[in-house]
Amino acid sequence: MPEPTVRPGHLEGLLHVLPAPIHDERGFFVRTLDAASLRAAGVDPVTFVQENQSRSRRGTLRGIHFRRALSEGKLVRCARGSVYEVVIDLRPWSSTFLQQEAVVLDDERHEQLFVPPGCGHGFQVTSESADVCYKHDAAYQPELETGIAWDDPDLAIAWPIGDPILSPRDRVQPTLAEVKPLLGTWFGDVRPEERGGVAAGR
């Protein structure tokens, strides 16, 4: 079976993982985790400690979510349906600080994204419903969870569907202007390897 292709994204440390699904009259078969390919790209799959799955209906928007610490990478895929996924680089030391990258994840191409620590992400469902699966390399710590408003004017994300379905939490997320002064405290002002920490982006 062909190995997945892993290529860097526009954002520093972001990876696009493109499996090679096999289709026939029965349906398809796809390898959703390939340790060797990830390891060659700098991600140790052994560090994944949990996998979560969400199901959402069309128009639902989840995000922008991230952790107030440089301590959680995620491997994200859409197992059913399609979503518009957006990643924001929130690391002050990154060459792509405050830039964003968007991609459609779906159950046809089976593309996955590795979202490095210090990046926020969110998605909006563009199919009738969608199942999104996330592998995490750090245990859930609710006290570290935070986010940025989905409609923040400084980010100006071009979400595909207006008037999204939101959780109570996502209706009251802070703006980027409110969060920005805290990013250096959360993620550091210099690269982790320059201060003796973990490598940037893993």
> What pLDDT score was predicted for residue 196?
65
The pTM of this model reads: 0.92
Question: What distance in Å separates the CA atoms of residue 133 and residue 7, rounded to the nearest whole number?
Answer: 20
* Residue owning tokens 């493109």: 18
Are 52 and 39 a contacting pair, CB within 8 Å? no
Give Cβ neighbours of residue 98 (< 8 Å, ≥ 6 apart): 88, 89, 90, 176
Q: What residue type is 64 in one-letter code?
A: I
Q: Does the domain made of 5-188 have the CATH classification 3.30.950.10?
A: no
What residues are labeled active site?
65, 134
The distance of Cα 132 from the centroid of its chain, to the nearest Å, equals: 11
> What pLDDT score was predicted for residue 194?
85
Structure tokens at 5: 């292709």
Q: What residue type is 10 in one-letter code?
A: H
Domain ranges of the chain: 5-188
Question: What distance in Å separates the CA atoms of residue 103 and residue 121, rounded to the nearest whole number?
Answer: 11
Return averaged pLDDT per consecutive 10 residues of the chain, 202 residues in all.
89 96 90 92 91 97 97 96 98 98 97 97 98 96 97 98 97 98 96 67 44
